[in-house]
Structure 1
């Protein structure tokens, strides 16, 4: 993926995470506090810096709520904020960023590694002082966070990548979850719960005549009401558990029984214990079934596939990122 494409993808990740935070209180506009909260659980340098400085998602949410209540009291309003609920942004539409959040989040020539650090710096310098007051409630200074940020930048690597080699297209996406590996394992290791983090799938059931194989059917519409456009031959899928090392690694293999010449799909989910939570890594692989293709099909794929390769890399990268977001929503 190009430098520009990587920054745009990171921008998208942060924007969606901020919108998800605002949706917990049924708000359609994501403001600077939602962007600040979104940064905490990212696998980018800004997220590492905040967590190393002792900022947890739960404490930061409480500090934001307390600061809002304080500001309302200053103007004589004692009504509290709406009670938070589950993240609902993926089920609704009409979400957007406030103007000041757009200005902070909008890229200005950085690469993927330095981009999130610049977003964090802009938040710390934001003229309203809201984030500064939140940090006071957390007993953390901007100087402490910036010191941790410098160390995080030295050790930084891209959190989402996409690569292509002969016959295999691979994308990797990582994030931080404020939950134990055991808690996350219960979600990602259960075949019948895959639709909870792969929104394209509807029902999943075990095939009684084939032990260890599940059959999934694609949804007709996504949770937000958007219609799914799926070819009839791709609607039915078979799922196999290729590897299970509890609670560390699970690999799911997905094939298309009605379209044997379609690429096979693999989802690898790796859970690594981290301070105050777990590092989540999702690898998506689209594997060309060369052993099932005729010579004519192989030549045709080579001719058509080459110019489409950058588009496919972007598609697979976004797919891996969406899986990490969907898993993350269960624990935020």
Structure 2
């Protein structure tokens, strides 16, 4: 992956996870502490090092909440964080970045730096506000010790989204939940809407399942879509408990439309599970005869947009699986 591509991937991934964590605190701005929480569940070297040092998401969340309370107490304000705070993203909508949090990303991608999550963690360890240092101290770790572990982990390489064909993409993420819990989520047809955000409901239908396409976004905005793509037929093509499941979705009222295939592989990892999602569009019969002559040219012109769309779709799926299990 090019450096620009790495910076974009890092920014997108951290934005999703940090926005989700910020929403638990009803914060509409991503700050340093939310970036730290996002790094704890990072699939790459940064997250692996933090988890190897015993830093888990629940403990990190508690440390952030404790630091917030102490900061308010120092101002003479007594306050308690909600005991059962839930992730309210995407219902709450995307968050803005604070200046100091945005600077972490900017500095991590500056000259001579890789722009990946490891570079962001290195910048966070020396962030001048002391926010990260205070949280890490509560967790029993000094920033310098984590920096040393990062130096020792140079051989670890973050997993990357891999292109598996023109209409498919694969992405791996760390999920702070057991293999069995992930399996229960991704293998149940009734729970598909919890992580396949294209679906609003699923019900049994003729030996398989029928799904209803989402027409309203979680934030209440109407979604544009064709009436022929409201109904979906869903098949579970493969299920190997508790490590693999493949779903296929098609639009019975649009027989020429492409079908969706979503495969999920689950492996045990320190502190949770490694989840790999393979997303693909399976070609249908294609356009009607008059449009077939220009279809190859149209596909060629649209190829960069399709690649980006596939990457967004597969990373959104892995993020949604993680979000559903750490909400």
Q: Same fold (TM over 0.5)?
A: yes
Flag the 1:137–1:235 CA change in 2: closer, same or farther, 3 A. same
Task: Tell me, in whole angstroms, the C-alpha distance in 2 between the residues paired with 1:307 and 1:111.
Answer: 34
Partner of 1:271: 266
Q: Distance in 1 between matches of 2:313 and 2:112?
A: 21
Deviation at 1:153, TM superposition (A): 4.2
The equivalent of 1:259 in structure 2 is 254
1:2-60 CA-partner distances (Å, limit 9, x unpaired): 54234213201101211111111212122111110111101122111211122111111
Does the aligned pair in 2 maintain the 1:113–1:158 contact within 8 Å?
no
In structure 2, the partner of 1:190 is: 188
- Counterpart of 2:325 in structure 1 is 331
Shift in CA distance, 153/255, structure 1 to aligned 2, threshold 3 Å? farther
- The CA distance in 2 between the partners of 1:293 and 1:230, in whole Å, is 18
- Asked if 1:156 is matched to 2:157, the reply is yes
Once the 2 structures are TM-superposed, how far is the Cα of residue 74 of structure 1 from its aligned partner? 3.1
Q: What is the aligned length?
A: 325
Query: Displacement of 1:149 after TM fit?
Result: 2.2
TM-aligned CA distance change 1:81 to 1:206, over 3 Å: closer
Task: Work out whether residues 3 and 112 of structure 1, in 8 Å CA contact, stay in contact via their aligned partners in 2.
Answer: no
CA–CA distance in structure 2, aligned partners of residues 52 and 94 of structure 1: 30
1:315 to 309, 312, 322: 309
RMSD: 2.3
Q: Which residue of 2 aligns with 1:136?
A: 137
Gaps of 5+ in 2: none
Q: Distance in 1 between matches of 2:77 and 2:200?
A: 45
Match of 2:56 in 1: 56
Residues 197/260 of structure 1: CA separation in 2 closer, same or farther (3 Å cut): same
**1:206 alignment partner in structure 2:** 204
The answer as to whether partners of 1:49 and 1:146 remain within 8 angstroms in 2 is no
The Cα shift of 1:152 comes to 4.2
Pairing partner for 1:218 from 196, 213, 217: 213
Q: Distance in 2 between matches of 1:246 and 1:113?
A: 38
Provide the rounded CA distance (Å) in 1 between the counterparts of 2:73 and 2:162.
46
Deviation at 1:73, TM superposition (A): 3.0
1:251 and 1:162 map into 2 onto residues whose CA distance is: 18
Distance 1:113 1:319, change over 3 A: farther
Change (3 A) 1:80 1:293: closer
Following TM superposition, where does structure 1 have runs of at least 4 consecutive aligned residues deviating by more than 6 angstroms? 110-113, 292-296
What is the CA–CA distance in structure 2 between the aligned matches of 1:205 and 1:81, rounded to whole Å? 38
2:116 alignment partner in structure 1: 115
Deviations 1:250-291 (A, max 9, x none): 00011121222222210001110011111111110112236x
CA distance in 1, matches of 2:165, 2:111: 25
Q: 3-state DSSP class of the match of 1:327?
A: helix
Which is further off, 13-22 or 139-148? Answer: 139-148
TM-score by length of 1: 0.90
**Shift of residue 92, structure 1, vs aligned partner:** 1.9
Cα distance in 1 for partners of 2:127, 2:299 equals 46
| CA positional deviation for 1:232 | 2.0
Distance 1:110 1:42 in 2: 23
How far the C-alpha of 1:150 sits from its partner, in A, is 3.3
| TM-score where L is the length of structure 2 | 0.91
